[in-house]
Amino acid sequence: MSALDWGVLAGYLLATTFYGCLFLRKNVSSEKFMAAGRSLPGWAVGLSLFGSYVSSISFLANPGKSYDGNWNPFVFALSLPLACWLAAKFFVPLYREGEQISAYERFEKRFGRWARVYATVCFLLVQVARLGTILYLLSLALQPLVGSLPLPVLILLLGLLVTIYPMLGGTEAVIWTGVVQAVVLIVGPLVCVGVILSGVPGGLGAVINQGAAADKFSLGSLAPNFASSSFWVVLLYGMGINLQNFGVDQAYVQRYLTARDNRAASRSVWLGGLLYIPIAALFFFIGTALWVFYQSHASALPTGTKPDAVFPWFIQTQLPAGLKGLVLAAICAAAMDSNLNCSATLFVHDLWARRESAREEDKLKMLRRAVVGFGLLSVLAAIAMISVKSALDVWWDLAGVLSGGMLGLFLLDRLVPKASKSAALPATIIGALVSVWVSFSAKPYWPASLPQAPLHSLLTLTAGTLTIVLLGALLSQKKESG
Report yes or no on 372 lying in a domain.
Answer: yes
Distances (CA, A) of 336 to 7, 42, 135, 176, 341: 18, 21, 9, 12, 12
- Cα–Cα separations (whole angstroms), residue 216 to 15, 167, 240, 264: 39, 42, 26, 39
How many domains is the chain built from?
A: 1
The per-residue pLDDT for 389 is 63
Distance from C-alpha of 404 to C-alpha of 92, rounded to nearest angstrom: 21
pLDDT at 480: 61
Convert 428-452 to b/e letters by CB count within 10 Å (16 or more is b).
bebbbebbbbbbbbeeeeeeeeeee
The secondary structure of 5-27 as a DSSP string is HHHHHHHHHHHHHHHHHGGGGG-
- Angle in degrees, CA 129, 133, 135, rounded to 5: 115
pLDDT digits 0-9 by tens, 357-403: 567 778 888 888 999 999 999 999 888 887 766 666 676 677 667 76
What are the distances in angstroms from CA 170 to CA 64, 76, 84? Answer: 33, 30, 26
Q: Does any domain span residue 393?
A: no
Residues 6+ apart with CB under 8 A from 63: 283, 284, 286, 287, 290, 310, 311
CA distances from 392 to 65, 66, 146, 151 (A): 8, 12, 24, 19
Q: What is the pLDDT of residue 478?
A: 72
The reported pLDDT for the residue numbered 395 is 67
Q: Which domain, by its residues, includes 12? A: 3-387
Burial letters 59-98, b for 16+ CB under 10 A, else e: bbbbbbbbbebbbbbbbbbbbbeebbebbbeebbebbbee
Identity of the residue numbered 259: A
Q: What is the CATH number of the domain that holds 299?
A: 1.20.1730.10
**pLDDT for position 481:** 60
Q: Is residue 376 part of a domain?
A: yes
DSSP, collapsed to helix, strand or coil, labels residue 454 as coil
Within the chain, which residues score under 70 in pLDDT?
A: 56-57, 147, 334-335, 337-338, 353-358, 388-393, 395-396, 399-400, 403-404, 479-482
Q: How many CB atoms lie within 10 A of CB 328?
A: 26
How many Å apart are CA 312 and CA 329, to the nearest integer? Answer: 13
CA dist., res. 465 & res. 240, Å (int): 8
Q: How far is CA 115 from CA 90, 95, 106, 290, 385, in A?
A: 22, 17, 9, 46, 30
Whole-number pLDDT of residue 149: 79
Q: For the whole model, what pTM was predicted?
A: 0.81
Of 173, 152, 182, the closest CA to residue 49 belongs to: 182
Distance CA 19, CA 178 (A): 11
Q: In this structure, is residue 354 part of a structural domain?
A: yes
Whether residue 194 is contained in a domain is answered as: yes
Residue 75, in any domain of the structure? yes
The answer to whether residue 257 sits within a structural domain is: yes
**Angle at CA 246, nearest 5°, toward 434 and 398?**
35
Residue 470 inside a domain? The answer is no
Q: Note the pLDDT of residue 400.
A: 66
| Closest-CA residue to 134 (of 55, 54, 241) | 55
DSSP 258-290: HBSSHHHHHHHHHHHHHHHHHHHHHHHHHHHHH
At 216-226, the pLDDT tens digits run 999 988 888 88
Say if residues 313 and 87 touch (Cβ distance below 8 Å). Answer: no
- pLDDT score recorded for residue 135: 86
